[in-house]
Amino acid sequence: MEKDSQEILLTEEQIQAKVSELAALLSEEYAGKDPVFVGVLKGVVIFYADMIRAMDIPCQMDFMCVSSYRGTESTGRTMVSKDLSSDIHGRHVLILEDIFDTGNSLEFIVNHLKIKEPASLKICTLLDKPDRRNPSVTVKADYTGFVIPNEFVVGYGLDFNEGYRNLPYVGILKPECYA
Ligand code: IMP
Ligand code: MG
């Protein structure tokens, strides 16, 4: 059973309270700015849907997807597998992410979006796992939901082998389940 394979780290109530808090902050920050919220697929989908519904300002939705290809060398190379479908030149852009882990993907995404010359570019992540950060990553999150320990987590959009995404909470996957 999926339910027996994790230990709850963040309950549905804790997550929803944080979503309300972040959404209130962002509604103030982006009022009158006609922002574009860029969701990083696929993990962010649940957080994204909850966030935009909790905000009381209009926003434009867009998404991108990046993939890491690992060759024989140990470092992964990131590629855009789905780019934005709108023009963000001169727009206020907020990237929404599920988790800021090594930071490699956010660093890549920020550099990719900067070239498109948005008026501003900020990052909001639900989770931050600072212990895993690649020391060469320079981007920082402007808004963070929860700082979490160095554990593999699933649920609320986050997956292990595409499973567990629709759990309403975030759980630590028990090590025997990675096997
Ligand atoms: P990065 O290492 O910061 O580039 O994170 C890349 C992606 O790995 C994240 O956007 C997540 O989709 C995924 N990821 C990182 N840590 C976890 C985790 O604990 N559980 C599930 N997915 C994770
Ligand atoms: Mg992600």
As residues whose CB is below 5 A from the ion ligand 2, the structure lists: 40, 43, 98
Q: Rounded to whole angstroms, how far apart are CA atoms 106 and 128?
A: 12
DSSP string spanning 130-161?
Answer: GGG--TT-----SEEEEE--SS-EEBTTB-BT
Give yes or no for residue 152 CB within 6 A of ligand 1.
yes
Name the one residue in this structure whose structure tokens are 């699933």: 154
43 lines ligand 1 (CB under 6 A): yes
Locate the ligand 1 atom nearest the alpha carbon of residue 100 and give its number: 3
Q: DSSP assignment, residue 142?
A: S
Q: How far apart are CA 13 and CA 95, in angstroms?
A: 24
142 is catalytic: no
Q: What is the pTM of this model?
A: 0.94
Report how far residue 133's alpha carbon sits from residue 62's, in angstroms, rounded to the nearest whole number: 26
Task: For the beta carbon of residue 1, count every other beta carbon within 10 angstroms.
Answer: 4
Ligand 1 in reach of 126 Cβ (< 6 A): no
Q: Which ligand is nearest to the CA of 162?
A: 1
Tell me the pairing of strands 120-128 and 92-100.
parallel
The confidence score (pLDDT) of residue 117 equals: 98
Write out the chain's pLDDT in tens, 179 residues.
566 788 999 999 999 999 999 999 999 999 999 999 999 999 999 999 999 999 999 999 999 999 886 555 445 688 999 999 999 999 999 999 999 999 999 999 999 999 999 999 999 999 999 999 999 999 999 999 999 999 999 999 999 999 999 999 999 999 888 76
78 Cβ below 6 A of ligand 1: no
- Catalytic: which of 4, 83, 98, 101? 101
Residue closest by Cα to atom 9 of ligand 1? 99
Q: Which ligand is nearest to the CA of 101?
A: 1
- Cα–Cα distance, 171 to 11 (Å, whole number): 8
Distances (CA, A) of 78 to 29, 53, 69, 112, 130: 31, 31, 6, 11, 20
Q: Where are the alpha helices (DSSP H) in the chain?
A: 12-29, 45-54, 104-114
- Would you state the pLDDT for residue 6? 85
